[in-house]
Amino acid sequence: MKILHTSDWHIGRLLYGRNRYDDFSTFLNWLAELINKEGIYALLVAGDIFDTRTPSNRAQELYYRFLCKVSVSCCRHIVIIAGNHDSPSFLSAPKELLLALNVHVVGASSEKPEDEVILLKGISDAPEAIVCAVPYLRDRDVRIAKAGESIEDKNSKLIKGVQRHYADVCRVAQEKKEKYGQIPIIGMGHLFTAGGKTIEGDGVRELYVGSLARVGKDIFPDIIDYWALGHLHVSQRVGKSDHIRYSGSPIPMGFGEAKQEKSVVIVDFKIFGNPNLPGNPHPLKITLHTVPCFQALERISGGMDEIIQSIDELKSKDSKAWLEIEYTGSKVAGNLRGLIQEAVAQTGMEILRIKNKRIIERVINQIFEEEMLDDLDVMDVFNRLLDTYEVKDDERPALILAHKEIITYLNEEDTNAV
């Protein structure tokens, strides 16, 4: 039995205002072909299917078309959990209809742990695997706020709440396993683990307010044979454990990920639970399959001569890359944009962003004509407002904390819920 673990598709995400529907479509077609080629039994998607809570019609079309295609393939089951970018109610709305296609959707956490435990059955209707499908847990799902709490108290209760939720769901899964025998238990989650690697510009949000918001490896119960995690865009293990993994995003979310190799994870339970095998009766074969690069991204930095040379090198390779240019030369480049546009004229390359770092360094804390909101996050904007209104240093920590809490609340608000 093979499962395929992927996450963080972010269908509909823009890159400096440019839509990427062709990339998403090509990836989903490639994934469907891989599922058939590898004989995948179950597909697990660990959150952040869409980039926003109100995905466009085109984004929805790509999503549902893919589900329909895979549902009539060799893949017996698809399990999808919501991430922090997803609307729980939007994902869950068609869940009963999708269940007819063996697509299991868990959009929000439940007070009943059994609602997040999915039994996967084979052709003969015999249980073959158990999935603990834990979606992104919002602060309000796992912690009861009380007046006068310190940030340390809030964080402590938050971590304990997350750990308790996972323990409750896994306990139900263990009870099912005792009933059905030697079948694997697979866990799914969308969260930020301590020590997890991120890349500048990947858009990964801090999920909770405070320094203790990144959960430790110890929250994952030992009864789980494989953990399929989402949220971090870099493919990686957790705490050097092969069976606890982030698949990472399948396409680069920004130029910071341009040189990063993207992959999906295939886990083979082929000889799972054979009592006659010596040693570990539950061996796993874990394989990372590289996702092809569908749209090349290139970040070029340097003086004018270096930039033109790099563009010429790309020309010689007949590159069709999207470019982010950062000018760091010591001379004033008055016609920077014109010179670079001329260099890429009549090629397949396209410039998405030009940054004149020399000007930026000369004029601090000011928004320039060439600076875009894509360069700033909400905290950058808030900090500039603090500077503009000359807020005293000793007053800033409380204001920053309050601002973070408001942003977290807004990010978690499900605008599609009635």
Domains of the chain: 2-290 (3.60.21.10), 297-412 (3.30.160.720)
Q: Are strands 226-230 and 185-190 parallel, antiparallel or unpaired?
A: parallel
| Residue 286: closest CA among 333, 341, 242 | 242
Give me the torsion for CA of 329, 339, 354, 326, rounded to 10°.
-30
Contact 250/9 with Cβ under 8 angstroms?
A: yes
The bridge status of strand 241-246 relative to strand 236-238 is antiparallel
Determine the length of the chain.
418
List phi, psi (to 5°) of 37.
-65, -40
Q: What is the DSSP letter of 77?
A: E
Strands 350-356 and 263-268, by their bridges, are unpaired
Q: Which pLDDT does position 193 carry in this prediction?
A: 87
Could you write out the DSSP letters of every residue in 183-233?
Answer: --EEEEEE--BTT----TTS-PPP-SSSTT-SBPGGGS-TT-SEEEEES-S
pLDDT for position 355: 86
Contacts of residue 187, Cβ cutoff 8 Å, sequence gap at least 6: 131, 132, 134, 166, 170, 220, 221, 224, 226, 227, 228
Locate tokens 């190799």: which residue?
261
Q: What is the pLDDT of residue 283?
A: 67
pLDDT score recorded for residue 395: 74
- Indicate if the alpha-carbon torsion angle 73, 79, 84, 90 is positive or negative: positive
pLDDT of residue 264: 98
Cα–Cα distance between 164 and 108 in angstroms, integer?
A: 16
Instruction: Determine the pLDDT at residue 274.
Output: 45
Name the 3-class secondary structure at 13.
coil
Q: List average pLDDT for each run of 10 residues in the chain, which is 418 residues long.
A: 96 93 97 97 97 94 97 96 94 94 94 95 90 91 70 78 93 93 93 80 54 70 93 91 94 89 92 48 82 94 91 93 90 80 91 80 50 64 80 77 68 62
Q: What is the pLDDT of residue 212?
A: 43
**Residue 209 pLDDT:** 45
Q: In what order do the strands lie in the sheet containing 322-327?
A: 297-302, 322-327, 350-356
3-state secondary structure of 151: helix
Distance of CA 116 to the CA centre of its chain: 20
Q: How far apart are CA 306 and CA 315, in angstroms?
A: 14
